Structure 1
Amino acid sequence: MEQAWIVGIAFLIIAFLYASVGHGGASGYLALMALLNMSPLVMKPTALILNLIVSLVSFLSFYKARHFKSTLLWPLVITSIPAAYLGSIVPVSEPLYKKILAIVLLIAVVRMLIKPPAVENISSPKWYWLSVAGAVIGLLSGMIGMGGGILLSPLLLMMGWATIQQTAAISAIFIFLNSASGMLGQMKKGFDLAPSMYMIIGFVLVGGWLGAYFGSSRFKNTQLKFILAVVLILAVSKLLFVN
């Protein structure tokens, strides 16, 4: 019972940190489940369900704070939603799944440890570049069971297409829609969920709500993000070097 509470609190912290920047937390959940030796067959649908919950809560907070820029969303999701569905039904061997996941988790580590650039001049991207980005991110997200925010956010910021708050709002709804599409593919194939799923959902709801609340008010906590980055690095090492 004590171990279950420790695991639940770990999920809560992950949800809190990711929701504070408009993410659903799939990369964090996947890293934690990798450390717990869960099967990819369990990891993907579990991460998608938790992603759906936290990304929706996060989006509502950032939307309420008026950070949502809808013109960026539609070109992205037109291609990302079908691509995420396709990726979710594509057979991926367990070794390949672990290697792809490790690479994405490394991107997540870099995203956490490097401060986002300050965006002074916001430019309007061409719709077709957004659509290409959406397709690539959606396909990859569907294959490993995430929403793609960890890939979308740095792209929007580095290209100067959105402010930090706008990026959080766009990423949150992008993650929700892609996770929903990926979950449809999982339902078609059939899936198993993590043990104590309902307890984990409770912890994630609390963490996601608190993170979204503080994140939409420009909350920052560098120390906790560093701790989470260490967890991700441990998961990457396990995925790459431990059979």
Structure 2
Amino acid sequence: MELLFALDALSAPEYGIVCAVAVVAMLYASVGHAGATGYIAVLTLAGMAPIEVRPTALVLNVIVAAIGSVQFFRAGHFRWSLFAPLAAGSIPCAMLGGSLPLQPRTIELVVALVLFGVAVQLLIPQKLPREPEPNSDSDLKSFHKGFFQIFSSWKMTLVAAGIGLLSGCTGVGGGVFLTPILIALRKAPIKTIAAVTAPFILVNSLAGLAGSILGDQRVPPLAPTFMIAAILGGAIGSSLGATRLSAMAIRRLLAVVLGIASFKLFGHF
């Protein structure tokens, strides 16, 4: 009932923002991501202050990434041995990045560069390897294997640390950086990469959000409404699995939105 009253109080532009958040969540969830760069683009285009954009995007990221993590884990594509070294490097650095007291103009510049880079990356066709049968490495019994992989995969841990720091600073989960790296290195098939990326985004977003809270940053009053929109969009997108819209069409659409947002931010300088 309180939600209905809250929706009744929304203005037409606010309704548009809520709908855009739901669409972004649906599109990103359909391709295995949580959508932070999309949320940042939407909220930036809507005129939200940069200091509010970062924690808000992280909250929405946590929700959609959690949905994707559960589904990929149940499907048997998750691998502890690949996830553990990445999480070990990214979590503390994401918390550090989220707590850094960056100036609004610094945040705008970093976010603009990230959005532009992701937009370009989305337009580049990627040749993906064929999928094997789901493996049993998602079983909890393999957790010890992933733990010891932290020490034998120190290079990936260092890469993840850099991704975590950038993620915390900008308010993204890091999936847009991790996925192309894992694909380029051919670390795993695409479904396994997606299955590892979703929880990677989840833990990074949680760490970055914790850092934002410690840094005394706050989410706007509309955040609960955005959260509900993200839940609905994420659930629909992950269930559809991009069956009604080609992956390339989604990538091009997202690239246009991110590009517009990045140029808007660049225009502030």
Normalising by structure 2, what TM-score?
A: 0.83
Aligned partner letter, 2:118? A
1:198–1:121 Cα change, 3 Å: closer
Task: Tell me, yes or no, if structure 1 residue 50 matches structure 2 residue 88.
Answer: no
Q: Aligned pairs, how many? A: 242
Greater mean alpha carbon deviation, residues 46-55 or residues 179-188? 179-188
* 114, 119, 129: which one aligns with 2:155: 129
* 74, 80, 83: which one aligns with 1:64: 74
Unpaired runs of at least 5, structure 2: 1-10, 133-148
Q: Quote the offset at 1:217 in angstroms.
A: 7.7
Q: Quote the offset at 1:101 in angstroms.
A: 0.8
SS in 2 for 1:116: coil
Q: Which residue of 2 aligns with 1:155?
A: 181
1:197-216 correspondence runs (5 A): 197-215=223-241
Provide the C-alpha distance between the structure 1 equivalents of 2:48 and 2:66, rounded to a whole number of angstroms: 25
Q: Quote the offset at 1:121 in angstroms.
A: 9.9
Q: Which residue of 2 aligns with 1:73?
A: 83
Greater mean alpha carbon deviation, residues 218-227 or residues 79-88? 218-227
Deviations 1:101-123 (A, max 9, x none): 1121122213322232222599x
Q: Which residue of 1 aligns with 2:135?
A: none
Unpaired runs of at least 5, structure 1: none
Greater mean alpha carbon deviation, residues 28-37 or residues 87-96? 87-96
Q: Percent identity, please.
A: 35
Q: Quote the offset at 1:69 in angstroms.
A: 1.6
Task: Tell me, yes or no, if structure 1 residue 226 matches structure 2 residue 236.
Answer: no
Provide the C-alpha distance between the structure 2 equivalents of 1:82 and 1:136, rounded to a whole number of angstroms: 11
Aligned partner letter, 1:3? P
**After TM superposition, what 4+ stretches of structure 1 lie above 6 angstroms from structure 2?**
216-219
Provide the C-alpha distance between the structure 2 equivalents of 1:30 and 1:163, rounded to a whole number of angstroms: 29
Task: Tell me, yes or no, if structure 1 residue 99 matches structure 2 residue 125.
Answer: no
1:159-178 correspondence runs (5 A): 159-178=185-204
* 179, 202, 207: which one aligns with 1:181: 207
* 65, 75, 98: which one aligns with 1:88: 98
Q: Which residue of 2 aligns with 1:141?
A: 167
Provide the C-alpha distance between the structure 1 equivalents of 2:196 and 2:15, rounded to a whole number of angstroms: 32
Aligned partner letter, 1:229? A
Deviations 1:85-143 (A, max 9, x none): 11111221222211111121122213322232222599x99611210111000011111
Aligned partner letter, 2:76? R
Q: Quote the offset at 1:218 in angstroms.
A: 10
Q: Quote the offset at 1:221 in angstroms.
A: 4.3
Q: Which residue of 2 aligns with 1:240?
A: 266
Aligned partner letter, 2:264? K
Q: Quote the offset at 1:82 in angstroms.
A: 0.4
Normalising by structure 1, what TM-score?
A: 0.92
SS in 1 for 2:127: coil
Q: Which residue of 1 aligns with 2:140?
A: none
Do the aligned residues in 2 keep the contact of 1:165 with 1:216 (CA within 8 Å)? no
Do the aligned residues in 1 keep the contact of 2:66 with 2:202 (CA within 8 Å)? yes
Provide the C-alpha distance between the structure 1 equivalents of 2:233 and 2:202, rounded to a whole number of angstroms: 17
